[in-house]
Structure 1
Amino acid sequence: MLSDWIPLLRDLRQYRKEWLTHDVVAGLSVTAVQVPTAIAYANLAGFPPEVGLYASILPVLIYALFGSSRQLMIGPDAATCAMIAALLLPIAGGDLDYYLKLSAGMALTAGLLMVFGGMTHMGFIVNFFSRPILIGFLNGIALSIIAGQLGKLLGIAVANLDFGPSLMELAGRLGEMDGYSLGVGCATLVLLILIQHYLPRAPAALIALLVAGLTVFLLGSDMGSVKLVGEVPSGLPSFSLPGLGYEGVQGIFISAVGLVIVCFTSGMLTARSFAARNGYGINADQEMRAIGFANMASGLCGGFAVTGADSRTAVNDASGGKTQLVSVVAALATAGIVLFLTQPLGHLPIPALAAVLIFSAWGLLDIAGIRRLRVIDHFEFSLSLLTTVGVLAIGVLPGVVLAITLALLNVLIKIYRPADTLLGIVPGVVGYNDISLSEDARPVPGMMIYRFDAPLLFFNADYFKARVLSLVDSAEPKPRWFVLNAESISQLDITGAQAIDDLIIELQNRGVRLAVARPKLYMRKYGQPMGLGKKIGAENIFYSVHSAVETLLAREAQAHNCVHGVQNDR
């Protein structure tokens, strides 16, 4: 159905008259935040201010049609802009026209990849990027943005773009600091903090930039050393292909893949959080297509990559926006400003824009999240810090790739040497449970009950076998039965089945018999051809740990009574 591809049509069919006021007010409120931040983010990436505005019109309209989120606002974002600058400025070599083509080409390529991914149901990839990696990535981006804007705040044109070298260069050139620029930047920063504290729902960036721009304009020649945005061309963008050619696309393709990861993951996190707050669900594949279409539109109209924007989405939600009609209003209002109100935008001071970016970047820093990780899991805390350091030291994309690689390696290590448990009788707890739960817990006499908490596959099969034999050999007294609780063995391959086959013989050589509790149906695929069922014995395969223990204890008791009966007959 058409409404499955264009959710806005469905929302409009169910639209209520009383929502219109909320959506229009929310759209205008978003515009008040969107225009100054779009210019600031364009400045962050090294683009002319109008490019940021172009990325805030058509892409926003396109997402409004195709997105499944009712609150998410699409547009320029600090993380994506910092990533674009880090990846493409070295390739552009100072050629602004070529840089604009590269950024448009990368947005178009990333958009195509996301549309293809959404159509092939690849939206699930968002679940592969752990929270520690995202915290570390955003912290690294935030610190790199702050470092990159300090020069503009101080009125110093810093040549180095990398985190460490830029700070070292800035430290060596502090004598060139412009007092007026520093004053404007710091005053804007203080004003932003005060507005957020006392008027949290007000468009802080708009108010702060208006005050800064008006101050510089009124003081005139006295503030002549403060750099301004300059002329902002009026008029809507034209449509064109970037014209990079096949080799040009090849050169940015890997960067576009990295951009897909950042854009989609960031957008989905924002969309999911606000959808949960408002009590509805998000379709990951739909979101992937929608963000992809928005990026394609941005690339075709001379913009750059866009994603879900936390601040503008929060403004939408706080203003009572009900549907994506908010995005339509915001896009049209931004287009009106681009057509008729560009002259005042040229008077915005660069140090004030730097202050807005530093303020926004500070909001990206998740200090509380890092502290929480430190308490909960040392490895994930280290992984998050390593991601931050990687982003700052070796670049945005290599840093993220390194962190994801380490996270996947950690998963493999956990599967290779997974948690396992010996089960027994725990006082006060029904059933057979982990004997480490209580000092008073005890194993079932003559029996070792073992649970392996991972898939049993080719890379952990030897560890599984060695672990079982080690537990049996170290047990005092030695068990007569080894009960394998298979409930947590979620997958099995032929190597894992062979390990069980070997274990049957190894345990028999030690005078121990194997029983299996809670086997999975998929075990038949490998168990039947290898004859595992016959070797274990159908009488030693049980559907629960309880039935296994009770049956084996009863069997041993019966055998014991038979032995005593024979002795008494003699």
Structure 2
Amino acid sequence: MTFATLDTGRRVRTMPPPHPSSFVDRLGRFAPGVPDLIRYRRADLPHDLTAGLAVAAVALPVGVAYAQLAGFDPVVGLYSSILPLIAYALFGTSRQLIVGPDAATCALIAAAVAPIAAGDAGAYVALSALLALFAGLLCIAASFLRLGALADFLSRPILVGFLNGIAISIALGQAGKLFGFDVEDKGIVPVAIEVATKIAQTHWPTLAVAALAFVVLFLMPRFTRKLPAALVAMVVAGAVVAALGLGEAGVATLGAVPPGLPSLGLPASTLELAVAHLDELLAAAAGIALISFSSAMLTARSFAAKNRYDVDVDREFAALGAANIASAFSQGFAISGADSRTAMSDAAGGRTRVAGLFAAASVALVLLFLTGPLQFVPVAALGAVLIMAALSLLDLGSLKRFWIMDKSEFLLSIVATLGVVWVGAIQAILFAVLLALLRFIHLAARPPAEVLGSVSGAGFHALGRHADASTAPGLILFRFNGPLVFFNAAYFKREALAAVDREGAGLRWFVLDMIPLTQFDISGVDALADLRAELADRGVELVFAGRFTEINEWLRARGLLDRIKITRRFSTLRQAHRAYLAMAGEHAVPTGPTDREQPPGP
């Protein structure tokens, strides 16, 4: 409703006119970027244009380099940097995330497709397009099933360990480009051995060009961050190769890059290959979708938190799927969120998703008019760029933090890295998922089970963490920090009886804190009933504290009220504690806040 003011000063309520953007808002439910683009503010244009050009300056060298990493012609990396950006701008919920070729994703593509293609270049391109298409479709299906929580499934230590392994794999895989000889083996350990045995075959002019590229990559950030170091390294190395005629001396270069935009559609042999290799492609696509989405969400959430807005993880799944499908239909390969290009956009002042559109337009213009200079870029310089990209994936800082905070999390991360080293990138995805499942099962099935004591003026706390916590003779205050269901019911009963055994003779009340017991099932109810029976046999009474009404209604609704006959129930642990002291004849009530003022401690 709106109000119209008459000459008398009285406000009259009137119906508002039809809102012109209602259709746009409805469209935004399907394509979240459309309302932002329609309502785009001119004030953001200079910032987004500058950021888009900066992103393109990074996307050009890394797109070419990542195409080489994945086993494609250089131009394919540029194809994968146009339509995916447009698709994400339409369907994504992050204002800043830049999608495109990604080091980890490209390493996974090469590991998945190379064994199937068996050296057939046409099959390699078609299989890679299929992989991107399937990964995109799986992402969209995951969005409809609201599986965005999978972004949290691979814990930070597991994801860091996996990416560290990928980084080592990428860096070693570029050794042949730096030294000027072919490396035929696959896998981290075999490649390391082959490089060591072939080091005497080093082509020194190639190594000199690689060294020059490294010098530029290291020094550029120290002089200026306005120019992308990767782009400058490729330009300098290409200029040196062209000026000195090093191509004739055996220094490998990219060669001619075909101009023009990609044709739309899938390769002709796609259907035949899809039928022949459906199982392998779907398995690899699922792994790539999970890893690329988890990695992309780390980037998207980081910049959303920095700039104070939210991203919708389920819609992000769909947006990444649309971007991958767009890449597949434009002769590209599977893509992901690009942290370096997103950081470049943010640092250059990019405000909206339009920065990605400007980046896509810039790459398209290069493909139309500026592919000629790319032929002089030395392969050794691309190897140097990829090694620097791999080093950016290597996260030693997080490993140090894991070691300080939790040694088990550190070990988990190291095991994930060793999984990549031992079984390879694709199989390591399954290994990482298995680690995540085992970690989840351990946390859910073995939550902390604690005996509590009273801390003067601070409520009730675990005896193991508070030396000043006191207990009353004949009383156990027990807390189980998790749901009581089928996979931990036996553990709950075992830990409760172990606490009873430690208390010894003279125990009268076993008070169970019901607040952390967020969920029950039949196995949980049976465990409580069995515990009550065993305690009764020992002359001990089971007492509940907390969730009085909720648990009563839950048991009554399921006809289980007679299964657990609890005669004493209290609203809080403090009430149960006071009641026991009063019953035991200790009338002196501990001083401290009231129940209302001081809930039980953690």
Name the TM-score, length of structure 2 as normaliser: 0.89
Partners of 2:288 and 2:129 in 1: CA distance? 13
User: Match for 1:78: what amino acid?
Assistant: A
Q: Map 1:22-41 onto structure 2 (within 5 A).
A: 22-41=47-66
Q: 1:207 to 1:523 in 2, by over 3 A?
A: farther
User: Match for 1:400: what amino acid?
Assistant: I
Contact 1:420-1:453 at 8 Å conserved across structures: yes
Partners of 1:513 and 1:489 in 2: CA distance? 19
**Which residue is equivalent to 2:561?**
531
User: Match for 1:529: what amino acid?
Assistant: G
Deviations 1:337-376 (A, max 9, x none): 1111111111100000100001111111101111111122
**Which residue is equivalent to 1:543?**
571
Identify which of 312, 325, 340 aligns with 1:311. Answer: 340
Contact 1:147-1:163 at 8 Å conserved across structures: yes
Identify which of 194, 208, 212 aligns with 2:233. Answer: 208
Identify which of 288, 291, 294 aligns with 1:259. Answer: 288
Deviations 1:304-341 (A, max 9, x none): 00111011111100010111111111111111111111
User: Match for 2:56: what amino acid?
Assistant: T
Q: Map 1:119-268 onto structure 2 (within 5 A).
A: 119-220=144-245, 224-242=249-267, 243=270, 244-268=273-297
Q: 1:21 to 1:414 in 2, by over 3 A?
A: closer
Shift of 1:240: 1.9
Identify which of 372, 375, 378 aligns with 1:346. Answer: 375
Partners of 1:223 and 1:189 in 2: CA distance? 22
Q: Map 1:40-189 onto structure 2 (within 5 A).
A: 40-189=65-214
1:448 aligns with 2:473: no
1:435 aligns with 2:460: no
Partners of 1:534 and 1:208 in 2: CA distance? 73
Partners of 1:28 and 1:439 in 2: CA distance? 61
Contact 1:158-1:166 at 8 Å conserved across structures: yes
Contact 1:450-1:483 at 8 Å conserved across structures: yes
Shift of 1:91: 1.1
- Give the secondary-structure state (helix, strand or coil) at the position aligned to 1:230: coil
More helix, by proportion: 1
- Give the secondary-structure state (helix, strand or coil) at the position aligned to 2:464: helix
Q: Unaligned 5+ residue runs, structure 2? A: 1-25, 588-602
Identify which of 481, 486, 503 aligns with 1:458. Answer: 486
Identify which of 507, 510, 518 aligns with 1:482. Answer: 510
Contact 1:69-1:275 at 8 Å conserved across structures: yes
Contact 2:486-2:523 at 8 Å conserved across structures: yes
**Which residue is equivalent to 2:7?**
none
Shift of 1:392: 1.8
**Which residue is equivalent to 1:293?**
322
Contact 1:184-1:212 at 8 Å conserved across structures: yes
**Which residue is equivalent to 2:303?**
274
- Give the secondary-structure state (helix, strand or coil) at the position aligned to 1:425: strand
Partners of 1:171 and 1:446 in 2: CA distance? 70
User: Match for 1:36: what amino acid?
Assistant: P
**Which residue is equivalent to 2:353?**
324
**Structure 1 range deviating more: 211-220 or 389-398:** 389-398
Shift of 1:413: 2.6
Partners of 2:247 and 2:571 in 1: CA distance? 86
Shift of 1:526: 4.3
Shift of 1:532: 4.6
Q: 1:472 to 1:29 in 2, by over 3 A?
A: same
Contact 2:56-2:363 at 8 Å conserved across structures: yes
Shift of 1:190: 1.4
**Which residue is equivalent to 2:21?**
none
Deviations 1:496-528 (A, max 9, x none): 111111111211111111110113725644466
**Which residue is equivalent to 1:18?**
43
Q: 1:294 to 1:208 in 2, by over 3 A?
A: same
Deviations 1:46-85 (A, max 9, x none): 1001111100111111111111111111100100001101
User: Match for 2:572: what amino acid?
Assistant: S
Contact 2:234-2:377 at 8 Å conserved across structures: yes
Shift of 1:556: 4.3
Q: 1:17 to 1:165 in 2, by over 3 A?
A: same
**Structure 1 range deviating more: 431-440 or 225-234:** 431-440
Q: Map 1:411-430 onto structure 2 (within 5 A).
A: 411-427=440-456, 429-430=457-458
1:552 aligns with 2:571: no
- Give the secondary-structure state (helix, strand or coil) at the position aligned to 1:173: helix
Partners of 1:109 and 1:62 in 2: CA distance? 16
**Which residue is equivalent to 1:6?**
31
1:357 aligns with 2:382: no
**Which residue is equivalent to 2:398?**
369
Q: 1:227 to 1:484 in 2, by over 3 A?
A: same
Contact 2:452-2:460 at 8 Å conserved across structures: yes
Contact 1:32-1:206 at 8 Å conserved across structures: yes
Q: 1:500 to 1:25 in 2, by over 3 A?
A: same
Q: Map 1:487-502 onto structure 2 (within 5 A).
A: 487-502=515-530
Shift of 1:202: 2.1
Partners of 1:471 and 1:338 in 2: CA distance? 72
**Structure 1 range deviating more: 389-398 or 35-44:** 389-398
- Give the secondary-structure state (helix, strand or coil) at the position aligned to 2:363: helix
User: Match for 1:296: what amino acid?
Assistant: I
User: Match for 1:170: what amino acid?
Assistant: V
- Give the secondary-structure state (helix, strand or coil) at the position aligned to 1:353: helix
Deviations 1:205-238 (A, max 9, x none): 1111100000100001586210000111111111
Partners of 2:167 and 2:146 in 1: CA distance? 32
Partners of 2:552 and 2:431 in 1: CA distance? 36
Deviations 1:465-522 (A, max 9, x none): 2222222122155221110111111221111111111111211111111110113725
**Which residue is equivalent to 1:562?**
none
Contact 1:54-1:298 at 8 Å conserved across structures: yes
Partners of 2:247 and 2:297 in 1: CA distance? 47
Contact 1:31-1:333 at 8 Å conserved across structures: yes
Contact 1:456-1:492 at 8 Å conserved across structures: yes
- Give the secondary-structure state (helix, strand or coil) at the position aligned to 1:29: helix
Shift of 1:533: 7.3
Contact 1:501-1:532 at 8 Å conserved across structures: no
- Give the secondary-structure state (helix, strand or coil) at the position aligned to 2:264: coil
Partners of 2:359 and 2:71 in 1: CA distance? 24
Partners of 2:247 and 2:147 in 1: CA distance? 57
**Which residue is equivalent to 1:386?**
415
Q: 1:438 to 1:378 in 2, by over 3 A?
A: closer
Contact 1:272-1:282 at 8 Å conserved across structures: yes
User: Match for 1:335: what amino acid?
Assistant: A
Q: 1:450 to 1:17 in 2, by over 3 A?
A: same
Tell me the number of residue pairs that the alignment of Structure 1 and Structure 2 aligns.
556
**Structure 1 range deviating more: 466-475 or 365-374:** 466-475
1:336 aligns with 2:336: no
Partners of 2:494 and 2:197 in 1: CA distance? 60
Partners of 2:585 and 2:495 in 1: CA distance? 29
Shift of 1:120: 2.7
- Give the secondary-structure state (helix, strand or coil) at the position aligned to 1:62: helix
User: Match for 2:235: what amino acid?
Assistant: L
Q: 1:490 to 1:534 in 2, by over 3 A?
A: closer
